[in-house]
């Protein structure tokens, strides 16, 4: 861009971020960001990232990754072979079937007694590895990962949550006792009461107000920021507490993001149109594309939610018309998830990126006669791990011929969390001091990681 290469001048990534914050490189950021991403992707010391694909409402295991063809509980769903001999999945995933050698299916999740599962409690449990209890404010997996492998120097937040639905349990995705420093940046949040048009994905996925007014000179902008920081400091000093600290942290993170070119990761218009098309022009599809761009910028944890179906925010909560809903949602998932894995692989990032597919629970093996639906089910459902840190081409657990009972290797929420963090190189036995001045392990002491899955 100025007639020299970053490599030849010996500038570090941090140097370039500093230069961009000063406006030196603003005219040609789009040229060096891809080059920087490609170079760092080849770095053997590259930090790992995790992308959680969250299926809001409770995805049916029998119609996705633990099908039971030819049985009354299996319903009309057929199976297809994958690129790993002996592993079959639902017919809705022809693209993902080609990546099974990079994926591991856990078919024996056991987080509660049968049909008595509650959306809010199970959402919290699968996100944290703990049951909500007492005064302890348990942090989410995203916040734990942000703390353990994120960096204070990062221009972007260490935890970004895309299209979250927090009405079931607002604390499930929060930082808990780790504090606001590790809270997520929420992008394109959805809820019961604001039924956004999912076709407005470009508008929803943009972080607003990242750039100062064009007629505001840098000196005046810096002066205003300095004044704000002084006021925030005085306020927090005189009024110590979580609320004041959270407010100050939010402004600090916003200013930091405004002053760096890394914020352009949120600008999907920089992407080639064909690449955007292959992910699917939906909120979830473009959210997965944004996740890949954030991985390139070293964001350690990104969560993307798929839960919309025909304007319903609880798409996977298929009490009625299960098979139609799952087919449509799975088609969207198959396109976006397979494109994410393919895109990461092409950029040399798949081996350092762990992808987790999960929801709060599964659905009943037995089909509800009158509604053609499935109810809540927490004792024998599926999750999937893929990409970096995982030995793919495996199936853990067995729910038998009809899906009614776990016959091999039950996996609890603590086991699941311990497996995920261990695959990311984090010690699940590490402790953090909680809000009640008691050390709490990252994973419950009873957790048993699935070591045969960890590369």
User: What crossing angle do the helices spanning 242-258 and 218-238 adopt, rounded to 10°?
Assistant: 160
Q: How far apart are the first and last CA of the chain?
A: 40
pLDDT at 412: 98
Separation CA 328–CA 319 (nearest Å): 15
For residue 193, is pLDDT > 60? no
Q: Give yes or no for a contact between 103 and 392, defined as CB atoms under 8 angstroms apart.
A: yes
How many residues are recorded in the chain? 455
Cα→Cα distances 307→53, 78, 313, 441, Å:
10, 23, 5, 31
Confidence of residue 431 (pLDDT cuts 50, 70, 90): very high
Q: From 144, 128, 151, 132, select the one nearest 47 (Cα to Cα).
A: 151
Flag the least confident range among 148-152, 191-195, 223-227, 256-260.
Answer: 191-195
For residue 293, is pLDDT > 70? yes
Cα→Cα distances 88→97, 242, 407, Å:
8, 49, 18
Q: What is the mean pLDDT of residues 323-336?
A: 96
Separation CA 283–CA 204 (nearest Å): 8
Separation CA 224–CA 227 (nearest Å): 5
Tokens read off for 119 = 């959306």
Please report, rounded to a whole number, the percentage of residues in the chain having pLDDT higher than 90.
Answer: 67
Q: Is 250 helix (H, G, I), strand (E, B) or coil?
A: helix
Q: What is the mean pLDDT of residues 3-27?
A: 40
pLDDT at 15: 46
The backbone torsions φ and ψ at residue 358, rounded to the nearest 5 degrees and listed phi first, read: -160, 165
State the virtual CA torsion across 285, 290, 291, 297 in degrees, nearest 10.
160
pTM, 2 dp: 0.83
Tokens read off for 273 = 């149109």
pLDDT at 5: 36
Flag the least confident range among 61-65, 205-209, 234-238, 391-395.
Answer: 234-238
Confidence of residue 207 (pLDDT cuts 50, 70, 90): confident
pLDDT at 154: 84
Residue 309, beta-bridge partner list: 312
For residue 14, is pLDDT > 50? no
Separation CA 368–CA 96 (nearest Å): 29
Q: What is the mean pLDDT of residues 364-392?
A: 97
Confidence of residue 153 (pLDDT cuts 50, 70, 90): confident
Confidence of residue 216 (pLDDT cuts 50, 70, 90): low
Q: How far is CA 26 from the centre of its chain?
A: 30
Q: What is the chain's Cα-based Rg?
A: 22
Maximum distance among all Cα pairs of the chain, rounded to whole angstroms? 71
Q: What is the mean pLDDT of residues 383-403?
A: 97
Tokens read off for 115 = 């049909």
State the virtual CA torsion across 33, 39, 45, 49 in degrees, nearest 10.
40
Tokens read off for 57 = 């409402």
In the block, residue with structure tokens 């990461």: 344
Between these two residues, 448 and 224, which has the higher pLDDT value?
448
The mean pLDDT of the chain is 85
Confidence of residue 227 (pLDDT cuts 50, 70, 90): low
For residue 210, is pLDDT > 90? no
Between these two residues, 400 and 264, which has the higher pLDDT value?
400
Map out the domains of the chain with their CATH numbers.
47-206+281-453 (3.40.720.10), 208-266 (no CATH)
């Amino acid at each position: 861009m100025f007639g020299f290469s970053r490599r030849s001048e010996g500038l570090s990534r941090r140097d370039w971020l500093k230069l961009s914050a000063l406006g030196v490189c603003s005219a040609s950021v789009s040229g060096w960001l891809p080059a920087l991403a490609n170079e760092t992707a080849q770095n053997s010391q590259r930090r790992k990232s995790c992308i959680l694909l969250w299926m809001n409402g409770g995805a049916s295991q029998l119609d996705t990754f633990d099908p039971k063809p030819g049985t009354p509980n299996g319903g009309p769903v057929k199976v297809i072979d994958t690129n790993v001999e002996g592993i079959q999945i639902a017919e809705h995933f022809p693209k993902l079937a080609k990546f099974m050698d990079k994926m591991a299916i856990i078919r024996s999740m056991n987080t509660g007694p049968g049909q008595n599962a509650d959306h809010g409690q199970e959402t919290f449990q699968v996100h944290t590895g703990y049951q909500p209890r007492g005064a302890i404010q348990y942090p989410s997996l995203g916040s734990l990962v942000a703390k353990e492998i994120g960096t204070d120097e990062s221009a972007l937040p260490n935890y970004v949550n895309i299209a979250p639905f927090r009405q079931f349990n607002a604390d499930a995705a929060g930082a808990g006792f780790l504090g606001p420093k590790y809270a997520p940046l929420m992008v394109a949040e959805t809820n019961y009461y604001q039924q956004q048009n999912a076709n407005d994905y470009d508008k929803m996925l943009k972080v607003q107000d990242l750039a100062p007014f064009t007629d505001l000179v840098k000196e005046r902008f810096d002066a205003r920021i300095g004044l704000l920081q002084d006021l925030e400091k005085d306020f927090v000093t005189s009024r110590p507490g979580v609320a004041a600290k959270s407010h100050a942290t939010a402004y600090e993170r916003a200013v930091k993001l405004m002053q760096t070119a890394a914020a352009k990761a949120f600008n999907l218009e920089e992407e080639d149109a064909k690449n955007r098309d292959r992910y699917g022009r939906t909120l979830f599809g473009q959210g997965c594309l944004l996740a890949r761009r954030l991985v390139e910028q070293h964001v350690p944890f990104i969560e993307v939610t798929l839960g919309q179906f025909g304007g319903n925010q609880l798409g996977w909560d298929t009490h009625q018309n299960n098979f139609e809903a799952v087919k449509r949602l799975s088609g969207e998932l198959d396109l976006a998830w397979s494109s994410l894995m393919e895109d990461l692989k092409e950029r040399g990032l798949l081996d350092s990126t762990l992808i987790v597919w999960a929801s709060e629970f599964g659905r009943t093996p037995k089909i509800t006669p009158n509604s053609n639906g499935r109810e809540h089910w927490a004792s024998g459902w599926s999750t999937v791990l893929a990409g970096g840190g995982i030995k793919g081409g495996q199936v853990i657990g067995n729910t038998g011929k009809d899906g009614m009972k776990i016959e091999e290797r039950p996996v609890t929420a603590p086991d699941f969390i311990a497996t995920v963090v261990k695959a990311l190189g984090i010690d699940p036995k590490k402790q953090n001091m909680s809000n009640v001045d008691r050390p709490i392990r990252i994973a419950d002491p009873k957790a048993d990681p699935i070591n045969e899955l960890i590369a």
